[in-house]
Amino acid sequence: MLESTLLGLGIGMLRGGRAKALLYIRFCHAWLLLLAFLIERLLSSYGDWISRQWPYALSVAVIAQYSILMIFIVLNARYRSMWLIGAGGLLNAAVMLANGGRMPVNEALVRIAPQSITTLDLMAGEAGNYVLADAATRLRFLGDMIPIWNFTRSFASIGDLFIALGMFLFVYGAVYGGRPAYLPDSNGRILYIKGQWPANGGSGRTEGLDRPDRSASCTMI
């Protein structure tokens, strides 16, 4: 996710966009996203303990987490890349619910990084809401099966790729699309100007990008 975000930022700036445009993004009910993230961190850190207290706790928590995420996405549907993030989230939720609230991880990790902390935790059954895939794994193809060699050797799911693409398009659209969308007036204030040609001699319109919209309002809840 970090790589796709930085890539969107970098390409947007290389094309003449401004990172400052990210400051003008306005989400409806951003606290929902924070709440979903906190549930994710809770499951990652204490998933094993939670599941020992109540066998169905992980599945209930996954349903709550992704329900909150989808509500947030619907409320912010004006940013079209949000739907990619939502689709990725639903794919991840599906495989986790099919496996008792845990995300199956490619068993090849044991061979590739046998002494890593993640591998040792997975083998000991103490990896929060993650579990090594085996013959009993359901919807295996939706689990963390795709090798990703970035800063660490790890695996990603199809849902993760959807989320990464959505993050890239969102950040790129905000940075590059923010060029014509926000221009300073004589007092230095930022004004919203819709449908203008890119500034500084750029080419092509920015319709279709997820431009920052400080004028957006929340009316659903």
Q: What phi-psi label fits residue 134: left (phi over 0), alpha (psi between -120 and 50 degrees) or beta?
A: beta
- pLDDT tens digits for range 48-84: 888 888 889 999 999 999 999 999 999 999 898 999 9
9-27: average pLDDT: 89
Measured CA to CA, the distance from residue 12 to residue 60 in angstroms comes to: 39
Query: 8, 168 in Cβ contact below 8 A?
Result: yes
More confident of the two residues 155 and 1: 155
Q: Burial, 117: exposed, middle or buried (Cβ in 10 Å; 0-12, 13-18, 19+)?
A: exposed
144-167: average pLDDT: 88
- pLDDT tens digits for range 74-83: 999 989 899 9
- pLDDT tens digits for range 94-141: 999 999 999 999 999 888 878 778 788 888 877 888 999 999 999 999
Cα of 161 vs its chain's centroid, Å: 9
Tokens linked to 167 = 């993050």
Closest-CA residue to 192 (of 75, 21, 76): 21
Closest-CA residue to 46 (of 151, 119, 130): 130
